[in-house]
Chains A and B, each alone.
Chain A
Amino acid sequence: MKTEYTITVYTENQVGLLNRIAIIFSRRKINIESLNVSPSEAESIHRFTIVISETEEVVRKLCRQIERQVEVLKAYYNTNDEIIWQEMALYKISTDAVAEKLKVERLLRECGARAVVIRKDYTIFETTGHREETDKLVEVLAPFGLIEFVRSARVAIIKASNGFHEKLKEFEAYEPAEELIENEFLNKQDEVFTM
């Protein structure tokens, strides 16, 4: 059964990696519903948050394909009840509508919205929450002339996670040798490669 899953991917910061991850989905004709890239709790490590609707088996296989990528450290997948998540939305409506119709103000309070910008011609509100919550305000504002609407990608925290610091230490555990190698393999080429 298809369910909404949130995939959290810890990666190096590398040009082109977004494409490498995106084509894992597009190659299989899977639509990414939401994608967010941001820094993570661990220094120099980036964090992708990807939302898709698929079966658990498909999501597990996708995560393995993602982890195969050289610059990916780890991919986790979670159902909605395993994460705390938020999306932010911005709404632009005419200031006259806000000022003249008290009802709007009350509705905004109910939806937990706040005004970010108030100008003579328009006002911009912002809400943060789950999809249903941000959608609800769209419905409510529509009759009053919603000029513009935009919603951000999902950001999510995994409830059971202890963060990536410890995991990162595991990845860094192996230290490479420091000495320089100077053409020493030229005469023993059969030993050079260990596949």
Chain B
Amino acid sequence: MQTLEKEITTTVATTTTISGSQALLEALIAEGVDTVFGYPGGAIMPIYDALYDYHDRLKHILVRHEQGGIHAGQGYARTSGRVGVVFATSGPGATNLVTGLADAQIDSTPLVCITGQVFAHLLGTDAFQETDVINITTPVTKWNYQVTDANEIPHILAKAFFIARTGRPGPVLIDITKNAQLQKIEYAGYKKCEHIRSYRPKPIVRKEYIAEAAKLINEAKKPFVLFGQGVILGKAENEFRAFIEKGNLPAAWTLLGLSALPTDHPLNVGMLGMHGNYGPNVLTNECDVLIAVGMRFDDRVTGRLDKYAKQAKIIHLDIDPAEIDKNVKSTVPVWGDCKETLPLLTKAIEERNHSEWLAKFAAYTKEENEVVIHKELNPDTDELTMGEVIRLMNEISGGEAVVVTDVGQHQMVASRYAKFNKSKSNVTSGGLGTMGFALPAAIGAKFGVKDRTVVAIIGDGGFQMTLQELGTIMQAEVDIKILILNNRFLGMVRQWQQLFHDKRYSFVDIQSPDYVQLAKAYGIAGATVDNRSSLKDAVTTMLNSKGAYLLEVMVGKENNVFPMVPQGCSVAEIRLK
């Protein structure tokens, strides 16, 4: 392989004979990929055979299930800001990717997934481990393609990476038949893709809309900014800060926008949506101009749409034209990359004070603090709360940790209370709400930012969905901290059953194994804690441990997450209890 690399890099004009599998790995290296998450199998064996010679340049993490592999790829992409790469074999290997693809599609995560496929001459014959991966994955990929001839591999891979990472990012799946993996081709080097005729990653910014938007903001008495993951994906955190600081604009975040603006920033007024903060929800229906930046008005954010911000003029900044007017009709659509549009808008707006308006948010925060937050973070009951665990984590880590959450009550509590100083520090399954996401995603997140502490916060339900990835943590020596908040219930469903189904607790009572023993079986240190006096030490031990660590905290069984916008209600009807 050494000689091959030399030949390729020194002689551009001439060609080298290599296999399709080698061409694939050369493409990954040319795209700057350093880590691949995958699982081998019959139809992808030629690629794994080639990988044997590339192991010094491409790190391969052997996961325990393809779903774990793709969630790891997502975690990697979310913390590193780069494209996650996943390998899986045909048939069941490929179908196991589907949940992760759907998750990445709805949360706009850039991925390139490579699946093996049966020989081209066997396509459509119901061959062993053959499945129609392209058609199965079409609704859940930004783009997919089946390669049957190795000559296609370099330019298809270039296209795949270009599509995955540009515009509104998303998952791309490339299915490669076994004959193409084996086929020898004359390889002339790798050329990155920079343009696809039919694909417009960024709409052209229309200056007249910038002017109109600025006019509305300048005239506004009660402007309110909502920001989503678009700020992070657009690498526009600084531009966003400059924008809100110039206009003194209060800004609230969606679940995926979390960490784009530091928690302590004076203009950060909190979280939107069903379990978001009191002020941002109520004041959505009082503001006069609503400025949405890189967010898509998900139903969990808007509550009842026909009662959502009807009084306000709406400015919507988004890179994806299909998002404009999809759920909420905008007064001024600002199509484009917010990295470009935000500075234009900042330039055009005037400095403002808005102190009275900001004081309204502060008043609501005070009320929420008194009724909800204080007792969640500093409870006077015997039972531990999820909130106090998060508070301790904040105190010890100082907001420097990457927090990966699963789905459910712990996810809402962690998102509400975890502190963040840096962007790309929050990884969660937002749009799809995939239980079992956090453990594998945390593995990938750690490979994305090797020098940072990664804490996976998981409920007792979600952990049991993908706990096989403890094997990956053991074998690849992944230094992540696993914090299981165990309430012995599928807590979020139980909360709904309590509030909306007359406490008919239907199949939400879930038992757990001994997690400390389980971790021990995988050579992972761990502890369990059920009382306040030893909680702080336990969290400290976890965060300071060398290597992976599992901490189980037994929290109150029937605690609820509040505030809450009940389904079918307007955001202004948010309940504090």
A interface list, Cβ under 8 A from B: 11-12, 15-16, 19-20, 23, 27, 60-61, 64-65, 67-68, 70-73, 171-172, 174-177, 179-183, 185-186, 188-189, 192-195
Chain A nearest CB from B239 CB (Å) reads: 14
In the complex, chain B residues whose CB is within 8 Å of the CB of A193: 32, 81-83, 110, 165
Decide yes or no whether B12 CB sits under 8 A from chain A: yes
Q: Contact between B322 and A61 (Cβ–Cβ < 8 Å)?
A: yes
Chain A nearest CB from B538 CB (Å) reads: 36
What 5 pairs between A and B have smallest CB-CB spacing? A192-B32, A64-B322, A185-B32, A180-B189, A189-B32
In the complex, chain B residues whose CB is within 8 Å of the CB of A186: 29, 32
Residue with the highest number of chain B CB atoms closer than 10 Å, among A175, A177, A181: A181
Decide yes or no whether B34 CB sits under 8 A from chain A: yes
In the complex, chain B residues whose CB is within 8 Å of the CB of A19: 135, 138
A68 to B324, CA, bound (A): 12
In the complex, chain A residues whose CB is within 8 Å of the CB of B143: 70
Scan B218-244; emit 1 where CB is below 8 A from any A CB, else 0: 000000000000000111000000000
A53 to B235, CA, bound (A): 41
In the complex, chain A residues whose CB is within 8 Å of the CB of B5: 183
Q: Contact between B198 and A182 (Cβ–Cβ < 8 Å)?
A: no
| Selected contact of B139 from candidates A23, A175, A183, CB within 8 Å | A23
Q: Contact between B31 and A195 (Cβ–Cβ < 8 Å)?
A: no
Chain B nearest CB from A47 CB (Å) reads: 13
Q: Contact between A195 and B234 (Cβ–Cβ < 8 Å)?
A: yes
Q: Contact between B195 and A174 (Cβ–Cβ < 8 Å)?
A: yes
Taking A12-B198, A182-B30, A183-B5 as given, write out 15 further A-B residue pairs in contact, using a Cβ cutoff of 8 Å, ordered by the A residue number. A64-B322, A64-B326, A70-B143, A72-B198, A175-B195, A176-B193, A177-B194, A181-B191, A183-B29, A185-B32, A192-B82, A193-B82, A193-B83, A195-B165, A195-B234
A163 to B83, CA, bound (A): 38
Q: Contact between A73 and B198 (Cβ–Cβ < 8 Å)?
A: yes
Q: Contact between B31 and A185 (Cβ–Cβ < 8 Å)?
A: yes
Chain B nearest CB from A102 CB (Å) reads: 53
A49 to B561, CA, bound (A): 50
Scan B28-43; emit 1 where CB is below 8 A from any A CB, else 0: 0111101000000000
A13 to B169, CA, bound (A): 23
A10 to B193, CA, bound (A): 22
> Is chain A's binding surface mostly helix, strand, loop or mixed?
loop
A11 in contact with B189 given A68-B320, A193-B81, A195-B235 (CB within 8 Å): no
CB closest chain-A residue, reference B26:
A183
In the complex, chain A residues whose CB is within 8 Å of the CB of B197: 12, 73, 171-172
Scan B97-136; emit 1 where CB is below 8 A from any A CB, else 0: 0000000000000100000000000000000000000110
In the complex, chain A residues whose CB is within 8 Å of the CB of B138: 16, 19-20, 23
Q: Contact between B198 and A195 (Cβ–Cβ < 8 Å)?
A: no
Scan B144-169; emit 1 where CB is below 8 A from any A CB, else 0: 11100000000000000001011001
Decide yes or no whether B556 CB sits under 8 A from chain A: no
CB closest chain-B residue, reference A10:
B198
In the complex, chain B residues whose CB is within 8 Å of the CB of A181: 30, 189-192
In the complex, chain A residues whose CB is within 8 Å of the CB of B139: 23, 27
Decide yes or no whether B142 CB sits under 8 A from chain A: yes
Q: Contact between A70 and B142 (Cβ–Cβ < 8 Å)?
A: yes
A184 to B166, CA, bound (A): 20
Q: Which residues of B162-203 have CB atoms within 8 Å of chain A's CB atoms? A: 163, 165-166, 169, 188-200
CB closest chain-B residue, reference A62:
B322
A147 to B2, CA, bound (A): 72
In the complex, chain A residues whose CB is within 8 Å of the CB of B381: none
Q: Contact between A195 and B34 (Cβ–Cβ < 8 Å)?
A: no
CB closest chain-A residue, reference B8:
A182
A79 to B36, CA, bound (A): 50
Q: Contact between B322 and A67 (Cβ–Cβ < 8 Å)?
A: yes
In the complex, chain B residues whose CB is within 8 Å of the CB of A172: 197
Q: Contact between B326 and A61 (Cβ–Cβ < 8 Å)?
A: yes
Chain B nearest CB from A12 CB (Å) reads: 5
Decide yes or no whether B321 CB sits under 8 A from chain A: yes
A16 to B138, CA, bound (A): 8
CB closest chain-A residue, reference B142:
A70
Q: Contact between B82 and A189 (Cβ–Cβ < 8 Å)?
A: yes
In the complex, chain A residues whose CB is within 8 Å of the CB of B165: 193-195
CB closest chain-B residue, reference A182:
B9
In the complex, chain B residues whose CB is within 8 Å of the CB of A15: 146
Q: Contact between A195 and B196 (Cβ–Cβ < 8 Å)?
A: no
| Selected contact of B189 from candidates A60, A67, A72, A182, CB within 8 Å | A182
A180 in contact with B135 given A72-B198, A185-B31, A192-B32 (CB within 8 Å): no
A175 to B196, CA, bound (A): 9
A180 in contact with B188 given A12-B197, A171-B197 (CB within 8 Å): yes
Chain A nearest CB from B503 CB (Å) reads: 35
A73 to B197, CA, bound (A): 8
Identify 18 residue pairs between A and B in the complex whose beta-carbon atoms are under 8 Å apart, listed by A's number: A16-B135, A19-B135, A19-B138, A64-B321, A65-B322, A70-B163, A70-B198, A71-B198, A73-B197, A171-B197, A177-B194, A179-B191, A180-B189, A181-B192, A182-B8, A183-B5, A183-B29, A194-B235
In the complex, chain A residues whose CB is within 8 Å of the CB of B324: 64
Chain A nearest CB from B1 CB (Å) reads: 13
In the complex, chain B residues whose CB is within 8 Å of the CB of A171: 197-198, 200
In the complex, chain A residues whose CB is within 8 Å of the CB of B188: 180
In the complex, chain A residues whose CB is within 8 Å of the CB of B29: 183, 186
Scan B303-333; emit 1 where CB is below 8 A from any A CB, else 0: 0000000000000000011101110000000
Q: Contact between A182 and B234 (Cβ–Cβ < 8 Å)?
A: no
Chain B nearest CB from A70 CB (Å) reads: 5
In the complex, chain B residues whose CB is within 8 Å of the CB of A73: 197-198
Q: Contact between A183 and B30 (Cβ–Cβ < 8 Å)?
A: yes
A183 to B199, CA, bound (A): 25
Q: Which residues of B331-365 have CB atoms within 8 Å of chain A's CB atoms? A: none
A61 to B322, CA, bound (A): 7
CB closest chain-B residue, reference A65:
B322
Chain B nearest CB from A110 CB (Å) reads: 46
CB closest chain-A residue, reference B13:
A180
In the complex, chain A residues whose CB is within 8 Å of the CB of B321: 64, 67-68
In the complex, chain B residues whose CB is within 8 Å of the CB of A182: 8-9, 12, 30, 189-190
Q: Which residues of B63-90 have CB atoms within 8 Å of chain A's CB atoms? A: 81-83
Q: Contact between B110 and A195 (Cβ–Cβ < 8 Å)?
A: yes
Chain A nearest CB from B6 CB (Å) reads: 11
Q: Contact between B81 and A68 (Cβ–Cβ < 8 Å)?
A: no
In the complex, chain A residues whose CB is within 8 Å of the CB of B193: 176
CB closest chain-B residue, reference A184:
B30
CB closest chain-B residue, reference A11:
B198
CB closest chain-B residue, reference A22:
B138
Chain A nearest CB from B567 CB (Å) reads: 21
CB closest chain-A residue, reference B166:
A195
